[in-house]
Structures are given as structure tokens and as C-alpha cells.
């Protein structure tokens, strides 16, 4: 009789241990699967969402300040663009880097600041954000006001004059912008916690300097969104050739001359 009582008890305990181990294994498996999904989301999805939403808000402000500009000169657009960009970089910089600009993304990648896998998704999200932001401006303003401001699209001064000079202006201003991004945010030797402030001020300074000539776009996504919404394509190529060329020049002298040892390809230890 005692032996008959003991055997079921041993069997019950063994079963309980087995079941407990199985439950623990399933919980660990689920935890690892959740951790993997979280990592994928934070590494790939969340940065793209930040670039889309940041580009939407930045280009919305950019187009709206041009369409609704009631004063003369470039002060209102310059301040609006610079403030909006600085704030958005503070908000989203720790998630995606706060590019909101295909020229900046190209520069950051070629300077070693991001992976190749994220370049195309970033650019697509920036362009889509530009279209949505420009579309919000079109929906917000009365038609006659929107059309009078060409939807916030760019109108290079003296259209029939030397377009090479206007393209050069976009190149130099984008070079200034991407240099600020590279030196203040990517290059470890010169990186600064006030990088968002510096980048926003650079955009403001560029618009004050070159807004009357080319509009000081420095951003293909900023040019494409309103061009689509307002159907304005005259000399649109300037706002791709100029910024991309300026970005590539920044990459060349950063990689060869000004970068730290991780970025520089010459005279490294």
C-alpha cells in the first residue's frame, strides 16, 4: 500500500516540473520573439516613420510660410524654415537622425553615419512626407491665395538668365547645410549637443543669403512636394542637381580632409 501511494505522488511532481519547464520555455520563446520584433520596429520602421512625419511637418511649414507670406523679403520664410527644422531635429533626431532631406541622407550615408539599407526607405519617406505636407497646405489655403504663391514651390529669379548661376547657388547653400550636419552631428571629433540649433540657423542664414535668387531650397523633397501639388515644373531639375552636387562635395572634403579617423580615408592610424 505505501508503495502504491508513493508512485502517483512522484509521477505528479515530475509532471508538474515538466509542465512548469514547458511553460517557462514558451514564455522565454515569446519574450525573445517580442524582443526581436521590438528591435526590428525600432531599428527600421520607427526611423522611417520619423522621417515621414518630420518631413511632412517641415515641408508643411515651409510651403505655408511662403504661400501665406504677407511681408516683403525672405525674413519670414527664413525664420519659419529654420525654427521648424531645429525643433523637428530635437524631436526626432534620436530616432532617425532628423534628416528630412534626401541630400542630407546621401551625405550622412557616404560619410559613414547610417547603413545602406536605410537610404532608399529614408528618401522615399521624405518624398512622401513632402507630398503630404504640400497637400495639407493646398487643402488649408483658399485656391486664389494658394495659386498666387505657386503652392510654395520655387521660382528662380530671372528664369531666362544663366541657370548655371542659380544651380551654383543651390550647390553652395546645400554644401553649407550638409557641412553643418556632418561636422556637428556625424563627425565625432566635432559633434555638438547644439547641432539642431546650428542646422536650423544654417537654413535660416542660407535663405536670407540666397532666397531671392534660387529660393534656397537645399532639399529635393521640399521642392518636389509643392511642384506636384501646384503642377509647377519649370526648371525643377535645379533643385535636384544643385543639392545633390553640394552634398557630394561635402562628402569629398569631409572624407579626405576634415573628418575624424573613423570618417577620413587619408592619414589614418
Determine the pLDDT at residue 265: 86
| Residue 8, all three cell numbers | 502517483
Mean pLDDT, all residues of the chain: 89
Flag whether 264 is in a domain: no
The band of 233, judged by pLDDT with boundaries at 50, 70 and 90, is very high
Give one DSSP letter per residue of the chain, joined into a string.
-HHHHHHHHHHHHHHHHHHHHHHHHHHHHHHHHHHHHHHHIIIIIHHHHHHHHHHHHHHHHHHHHHHT--SSSSHHHHHHHHHHHHHHHHHHHHHH----SHHHHHHHHHTTSS-GGGHHHHHHHHHHHHHHHHHHHHHHS-HHHHHHTGGG----SSTTS-HHHHHHHHHHHHHHHHHHHIIIII-TTT--TTHHHHHHHHHHHHHHHHTTTT-----HHHHHHHHHHHT--TTTTHHHHHHHHHHHHHHHHIIIIIS-TTT-SSS--
Specify the CATH number for the domain of residue 15.
Answer: 1.20.1080.10
Residue 210 lies in a domain: yes
In a domain, 266, yes or no: no
- Classify residue 267: in a domain, yes or no: no
Using the predicted structure, report yes or no on whether residue 216 has a pLDDT greater than 70. Answer: yes
Contact 184, 92 (CB under 8 A): no
How far lies 223's CA from each of 175, 176, 179, in Å? 17, 18, 21
Q: Structurally, how many domains does the chain consist of? A: 1
User: pLDDT band for position 68 (50/70/90)?
Assistant: confident
Question: Which residue range is the domain that position 134 belongs to?
Answer: 2-258
Q: pLDDT value at position 157?
A: 61
Predicted local confidence at residue 266, as pLDDT: 82
Q: Region 227-248: what's the mean pLDDT?
A: 95
Dig out the grid coordinates for 49 from the structure. Answer: 516613420
Share of the chain above pLDDT 70, in %: 86
Count Cα atoms within 13 angstroms, Cβ side, for 230.
32
User: Which of 27-41, 158-172, 197-211 bottoms out in mean pLDDT, i.e. has the lowest?
Assistant: 27-41
pLDDT tier, 71 (very low <50, low <70, confident <90, very high otherwise): low
Mean pLDDT of the 244-261 span: 95
Please state, in angstroms and rounded to a whole number, the distance separating the CA atoms of residues 225 and 121: 17
Q: How confident is the model at residue 11 (pLDDT cuts 50, 70, 90)?
A: very low
Q: What is the pLDDT of residues 149-186, one digit of tens each?
A: 889 988 776 555 688 999 999 999 999 999 999 999 99
Residue 265 lies in a domain: no
Residue 249 has pLDDT above 60, yes or no: yes
Could you tell me how many residues make up the chain? 269
State the pLDDT at residue 1.
47
Query: Can you tell me the mean pLDDT for 47-67?
Result: 96
- Going by pLDDT thresholds of 50, 70 and 90, the confidence category of residue 212 is confident
* The pLDDT of residue 70: 63
Residue 219 lies in a domain: yes
- Tell me: pLDDT of 198 over 90: yes
Whole-angstrom Cα distance, residue 16 to residue 265? 62
With contact defined as beta carbons under 8 Å apart, do 111 and 255 qualify?
Answer: yes
Q: From CA 258, how far away is CA 266, in angstroms rounded?
A: 10
The answer to whether 184 and 247 have CB atoms below 8 angstroms apart is: no
Q: What is the pLDDT of residues 113-163, one digit of tens each?
A: 999 999 999 999 999 999 999 999 999 999 999 998 889 988 776 555 688
Amino acid at each position: 500500500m505505501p508503495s502504491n501511494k508513493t508512485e502517483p505522488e512522484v509521477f505528479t511532481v515530475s509532471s508538474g516540473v515538466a509542465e512548469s519547464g514547458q511553460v517557462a520555455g514558451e514564455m522565454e520563446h515569446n519574450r525573445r520573439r517580442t524582443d526581436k520584433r521590438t528591435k526590428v520596429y525600432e531599428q527600421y520602421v520607427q526611423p522611417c516613420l520619423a522621417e515621414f512625419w518630420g518631413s511632412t511637418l517641415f515641408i508643411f511649414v515651409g510651403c505655408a510660410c511662403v504661400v501665406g507670406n504677407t511681408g516683403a523679403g525672405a525674413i519670414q520664410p527664413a525664420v519659419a524654415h529654420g525654427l521648424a527644422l531645429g525643433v523637428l531635429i530635437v524631436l526626432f533626431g534620436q530616432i532617425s537622425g532628423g534628416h528630412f532631406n534626401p541630400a542630407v541622407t546621401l551625405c550622412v550615408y557616404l560619410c559613414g553615419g547610417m547603413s545602406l539599407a536605410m537610404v532608399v526607405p529614408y528618401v522615399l519617406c521624405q518624398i512622401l512626407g513632402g507630398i503630404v505636407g504640400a497637400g495639407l497646405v493646398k487643402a488649408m489655403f483658399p485656391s486664389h491665395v494658394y495659386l498666387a504663391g505657386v503652392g510654395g514651390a520655387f521660382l528662380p529669379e530671372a528664369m531666362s538668365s544663366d541657370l548655371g548661376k542659380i544651380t551654383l547657388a543651390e550647390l553652395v547653400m546645400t554644401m553649407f547645410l550638409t557641412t553643418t550636419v556632418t561636422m556637428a552631428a556625424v563627425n565625432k571629433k566635432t559633434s555638438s549637443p547644439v547641432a539642431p540649433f546650428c542646422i536650423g540657423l544654417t537654413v535660416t542664414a542660407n535663405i536670407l543669403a540666397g532666397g531671392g535668387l534660387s529660393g534656397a531650397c537645399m532639399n529635393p523633397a521640399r521642392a518636389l512636394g509643392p511642384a506636384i501639388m501646384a503642377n509647377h515644373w519649370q526648371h525643377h531639375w535645379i533643385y535636384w542637381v544643385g543639392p545633390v552636387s553640394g552634398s557630394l562635395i561635402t562628402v569629398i572634403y569631409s572624407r579626405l580632409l576634415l573628418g575624424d579617423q573613423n570618417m577620413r580615408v587619408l592619414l589614418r592610424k
